[in-house]
Amino acid sequence: MATRHFLNLLDLSPDELRYLIQRAISIKNGLKTHGPTYTPFANRTLAMIFEKSSTRTRVSFETAMAQFGGHALFLSSKDTQLGRGEPIGDTARVLSEMVDAVMIRTFAHEGLETFAAASTVPVINALTDDYHPCQLLADVMTWTELRGSVKGRTAVWIGDGNNMCHSWINAARQFDFQLRICCPEGYEPRQDILAAAGDRVSILRDPMEAVMDADLVTTDVWASMGQEEEQAKRESDFRGLQVTEALLDRAREDVLFLHCLPAHRGEEISMTLLDDPRAVVWQEAGNRLHAQKALLEFLLLGPVES
Ligand code: CP
Ligand code: NVA
């Protein structure tokens, strides 16, 4: 059977994604009631290649492997031969001989695809310039935990048409919800990704209009990793798109606010938004651990009965 990779949300079917969300919730509840006694990854190793910084992704994958009885290797591109020009495909073949799965955080999505094409073990996208699908597993898990099925509901993305926005678009397709994107002119998501989602996804310019009666509002930093030099220009271009408590007041009374984090208070969110009870970002961040466990389990062992 061909090796399954998770490079974006379209690599799994809607049924498989729904299974992962339910499985992640079940793993989380099991951890609370029974403690970490389930160790299906004994003698399994995950290689984690990081070409960009990370807190949540690294800690959640490493902890997931440890709690499930396996081991994770942190590989910074600076310290491996990748940083000295060893071809990506050669690295993929070498790691495939030794480890059970590989997780990669990098810049160009094509580099990840090149790696996956040469890898005989599952490869997981831990963020590229184009997508961040692991974050969406935790986000949809959080939304589902708190509000039940997300099918037919309405989420609003405020900000840059970036890697997170692209993943929200794919999530709208796979989980069948409506997505309104509110971004400045010139910062739209990629046209092909948008077009493939059909009329589930719309672009609006006025945040007050975009959030009206929404079930969920989310945003992200205005300048992503690798765009630090554009910070000042982006601060000016995104003015007026800050998510505030007053903006959430326009949404449904039970609206949830998500942010993948790290957040810049005073930029894309108000200074106090994360203290508002509608913001569930700490639960969202914690759910990275459980979602990662469900994903790794699925890729290494296949679906299991909860
Ligand atoms: N949200 C997220 O991926 O966080 P890190 O960059 O800290 O991994
Ligand atoms: N869009 C952000 C997400 C960080 C988790 C970035 O790529 O830097």
Selected catalytic residue, list 23, 234, 288, 290: 288
Q: What pLDDT sits at residue 37?
A: 83
pLDDT digits (tens, 9 = 90+) for 184-204: 999 999 999 999 999 999 999
CA distances to 4, 39, 42, 269 from 69, in Å: 22, 4, 5, 38
- Catalytic, 23? Answer no
- Catalytic, 288? Answer yes
Give the DSSP H or E segment for 49: strand 45-50
CB distance 220 to ligand 2 below 6 Å: yes
Residue 120 pLDDT greater than 80, yes or no: yes
Was 134 annotated as part of a binding site? yes
Please give the distance, rounded to the nearest whole angstrom, from the Cα atom of residue 56 to the centre of ligand 1.
5
ipTM, interface predicted TM-score of the complex: 0.99
Please enumerate, as own/partner, the contacts of 282-286 that have beta carbons within 8 Å and a separation of 24 or more: 283/142, 283/145, 283/146, 284/138, 284/139, 284/142, 284/258, 284/259, 284/260, 285/56, 285/138, 285/261
Report d(CA 154, CA 176) in Å as an integer. Answer: 10
Number of the ligand 1 atom closest to the C-alpha atom of 59: 8
Selected catalytic residue, list 100, 129, 160, 220: 220
pLDDT band at residue 306, thresholds of 50, 70 and 90? Answer: low
CB distance 163 to ligand 2 below 6 Å: yes
pLDDT band at residue 305, thresholds of 50, 70 and 90? Answer: confident
In this structure, which amino acid lies at residue 212? M
Mean pLDDT over 99-123 rounds to 98
Q: What residues pair up with 210 in beta bridges, in sequence order?
A: none
- Catalytic, 242? Answer no
Phi, psi dihedral angles at 134 (to 5 degrees): -65, -35
Residue 272 pLDDT greater than 80, yes or no: yes
Residues in the chain: 306
pLDDT digits (tens, 9 = 90+) for 75-90: 998 899 999 999 999 9
Residue 275 pLDDT greater than 70, yes or no: yes
Q: What is the spatial order of strands in the sheet that 216-219 belongs to?
A: 201-204, 178-182, 154-158, 216-219, 256-259
CA distances to 88, 97, 116, 157, 267 from 93, in Å: 9, 7, 10, 38, 43
pLDDT band at residue 231, thresholds of 50, 70 and 90? Answer: very high
Was 37 annotated as part of a binding site? no
pLDDT band at residue 31, thresholds of 50, 70 and 90? Answer: confident
CB distance 221 to ligand 2 below 6 Å: yes
Report d(CA 38, CA 293) in Å as an integer. Answer: 11
Mean pLDDT over 12-37 rounds to 90
Q: What pLDDT sits at residue 61?
A: 98
Mean pLDDT over 8-30 rounds to 97
Mean pLDDT over 225-229 rounds to 97
Q: Taking CA 306 as the corner, what is the angle to CA 149 and CA 36, rounded to the nearest 5 degrees?
A: 110
Residue 33 pLDDT greater than 90, yes or no: no
Was 165 annotated as part of a binding site? no
CB distance 260 to ligand 2 below 6 Å: yes
CB distance 223 to ligand 2 below 6 Å: no
Q: Give residue 25's Cα distance to chain centre.
A: 16
Q: What is the spatial order of strands in the sheet that 45-50 belongs to?
A: 71-76, 45-50, 101-105, 123-125
- Catalytic, 276? Answer no
Q: What pLDDT sits at residue 45?
A: 98
Sequence-distant (6+) residues with CB within 8 A of 220 are 159, 160, 162, 164, 165, 259, 260, 268
Joined tokens for residue 77? 């591109």
